[in-house]
Amino acid sequence: MNISLNPDNVSGSFYEYLGRMGISPNSVKYYRSDLSHFSGWLILKIRAWGVFAESMSEVIPFLSTKIAQEYRSFLTQNGIPPKTVNRRLSTLRHLSRFLVLSQISNSDFMEGISNISIGSFQSSSIHPLLLGFQRRLEAEKVSNNTIKNYLSDIGHFINWLETNNKPLITNK
């Protein structure tokens, strides 16, 4: 398969590649969403290291199996539904293959990164500070969607705090 590549727009080239593979426009919509989520997460992570990046094209040199494993852990620790986690990991596997095929990368950064087991996903993977909050919301009969959204938002915030070495609790 001949891959055309715009080095300034790797994401666009990746979507063209998906289209040539016969991926449906609806599925490409999910790929876009998943890649946007991952690149946003990775850009913030890289910026925390003191490196300025704005696009997927700029973060490619940082892609590694370690980064992929950290992202997988980030998703599971923040209460993302298992099917969504696995779909996002599948998107990254396609991206990794595309990067190797187009000779942007010489290694598969998703090698050895497996899907999560849907049956084993439990609230124990939620940050301990969120568990009490979740139980409180459930006791107050808050809807499951509202609980999920609250836990996701607060989980992202806690993860940001921990990633940026900000203490969750300070003694004053």
Whether residue 156 sits in one domain with residue 86: no
What is the residue range of 71's domain?
10-124
User: Do 100 and 18 fall into the same domain?
Assistant: yes
Residue 146 lies in a domain: yes
Residue 64 has φ and ψ, to the nearest 5°, of -155, 165
Residue 2 in any domain: the answer is: no
pLDDT digits (tens, 9 = 90+) for 127-147: 666 777 877 888 888 887 787
In a domain, 112, yes or no: yes
C-beta of residue 29 within 8 angstroms of C-beta of residue 58 = no
CATH number at residue 115: 1.10.150.130
- pLDDT tens column, 17-65: 999 999 999 999 999 999 999 999 999 999 999 999 898 888 999 999 9
pTM: 0.67
- Considering the domain architecture, whether residues 93 and 156 belong to the same structural domain is answered as no
